[in-house]
Structure 1
Amino acid sequence: MAHAATAEGQQHPIKLYLVVWGWLFILSAFSYLVDYFQLEGMLRWALILLFMALKAGLIIAVFMHMAWERLALTYAILLPPLVVLVFLGIMMFESDYTLYMRETFFAGAAL
């Protein structure tokens, strides 16, 4: 895909933005269909989070121009949220262990 280089910077073709808007519309429609079909439980939340992440990725990549940035800047912006997600996962497992230990050792004690 050729981009016109000008003194101010690159100009991306309007088709790129229209395609991204189309995909955002489609992903939003899928998000609303999850509620329309009354999906429940983990499937519902997994689909909602998947569509949300895909829409956020498109917005970050195209509208915030991250797709054309240097790799170091991309890592500097994208890695911290991923590390936070890893820490959240670790905390979820740790909280289950803590609850198990409390139930095991304090089951007979009056709180």
Structure 2
Amino acid sequence: MDHAATTDTVAVPQEEHQQHPIKLYLTVWIWLFVLSVGSYMVDIVNFEGLLRWGLIVTLMLLKAGLIIAVFMHMAWERLALSYAILVPPVLILVFVAMMAVEATYTEWMRVFFLNGGT
């Protein structure tokens, strides 16, 4: 029996941990703070109507995007995993928009034809 074959140690690969710099997390926290201040400023300045809701939704989506990209590590994931997580909500929004258009059309048709065309 070959003594050298039994005493060799098998090289076990070390687990690779990716450490992100603290500067990245601090930058994201600062941006989240700035975007939150912007959301509060929309209320303080008393924007109204579509501008108000457009700003609120835009700021909300920016904050959600930062959180998903950095804190949920989606920025470093494979493209297939990103698509698996991000595509379904986008499709749901598309279907909701389609239903809203259909609902408006149906309401218009009912008003036009059931009220004698007035």
Same fold (TM over 0.5): yes
Q: Structure 1 stretches (4+) deviating beyond 2 angstroms?
A: none
> Within 2, Cα distance between the matches of 1:7 and 1:29?
40
1:97 corresponds to = 105
Q: How does 1:13-92 map to 2 (within 5 A)?
A: 13-92=21-100
Q: How does 1:2-17 map to 2 (within 5 A)?
A: 7-17=15-25
> Within 1, Cα distance between the matches of 2:101 and 2:60?
24
> Within 1, Cα distance between the matches of 2:108 and 2:18?
57
1:3 corresponds to = none
> Within 1, Cα distance between the matches of 2:70 and 2:15?
21
CA-based RMSD: 1.1
Unpaired stretches in structure 1, ≥5 consecutive residues: 1-5
> Within 1, Cα distance between the matches of 2:46 and 2:103?
31
> Within 1, Cα distance between the matches of 2:110 and 2:78?
48
What are the Cα deviations for residues 30-76 of structure 1, in whole angstroms up to 9, with x where unaligned? Answer: 00000000000000000000000000000000000000000000000
Query: Paired residues, what number?
Result: 103
Q: Alpha-carbon deviation of 1:8?
A: 5.0
> Within 1, Cα distance between the matches of 2:55 and 2:80?
31
Unpaired stretches in structure 2, ≥5 consecutive residues: 1-13
